[in-house]
Structure 1
């Protein structure tokens, strides 16, 4: 067995979309979107998201239309968006389906059940949200999913935020 320093499934840079390469140069916060419906949980690491302040506030995220998260979110109508920190790198990869998670990624951490879905117990910041439109518009290869923020938890913010840039994690 050989361990490589590069991502084994990543196409060569010359074969990647220039738009994706442009986007990859923007540092993005790493969020974990989770929901539960009919006794099963679903989650996905999302770094293509923006938060809009207002009454109410909104989170807009680009979600894979074929993901388990989208299927469950559409049915449940609610989600928790947790902002990940430095200690959550492995969890981010597991929920991004680029690292193994025997028994599923939800077994890798402790969770608190909320009215919006499972919240990562070790996340210092999370929002409980309601899905705005069960048929969101397509945007590129993704769905432009809008969530209305109904509740925000802000704990001591001493851990560095996890950010994603050019296929790698860093902190901000």
Structure 2
């Protein structure tokens, strides 16, 4: 039988093989902007339109997000790795919004040049182990005409391109 440490490492290595779209979740609380890079965002339902995100409870946005309840999921473009790095700890919290074209909609900061913006109202926060599963109802969206998301896989940023399928015969 595998030790717990080895099972954990096998799980980590397995998850490195899952490609994920990179997003930055943002909110404003007590007059201060907050944001964090995440890769755990998933559409949940079309009726009601809802989405979930998993956030470590120790992250800087955890408490402000739960207290504010309104936030934006900013889906990053392939060219926005610098923004992802800034919001994943590459910049001090108070300097994160210095990179990129940030504006506000009804007090919620959002990245104007993002691949997509999903404006949400928190419906539920479910605690599990070290994380909260944030379920948000989507109140509004904006998206770019082109599809060019920033992807994270195997500990690095990656690009996508459509596959060309060969016809049989």
User: Runs (4+) of structure 1 moved beyond 3 Å?
Assistant: 100-103
1:155 aligned to 2:147?
A: no
CA apart distance, 1:52: 2.2
1:73 aligned to 2:65?
A: yes
Tell me the distance in 2 between the aligned counterparts of 1:116 and 1:49.
22
1:166 aligned to 2:166?
A: no
> What pairs up with 1:27-38 in 2 under 5 angstroms?
27-38=19-30
SS in 1 for 2:18: coil
What is the CA deviation profile of residues 65-94 of structure 1, one whole-angstrom value per residue up to 9, with x for unaligned ones?
Answer: 011211111121111001101111011011
* RMSD between aligned residues: 2.0
> What pairs up with 1:94-133 in 2 under 5 angstroms?
94-97=86-89, 99-100=90-91, 104-115=95-106, 117-133=108-124
Structure 2: unaligned runs, 5 residues or longer: 1-5, 161-169
Whether the 8 Å CA contact 1:63–1:142 is kept in 2: the answer is yes
Aligned length: 155
Larger Rg: 2
1:45 aligned to 2:45?
A: no
Partner of 2:167: none
What is the CA deviation profile of residues 26-68 of structure 1, one whole-angstrom value per residue up to 9, with x for unaligned ones?
Answer: 0001111000011101001110121123122211111010112
What is the CA deviation profile of residues 8-37 of structure 1, one whole-angstrom value per residue up to 9, with x for unaligned ones?
Answer: xxxxxx896322221121000111100001
CA apart distance, 1:102: 8.9
Change (3 A) 1:43 1:102: closer
Whether the 8 Å CA contact 1:129–1:148 is kept in 2: the answer is yes
Tell me the distance in 2 between the aligned counterparts of 1:64 and 1:121.
26
CA apart distance, 1:116: 6.0
CA apart distance, 1:170: 0.8
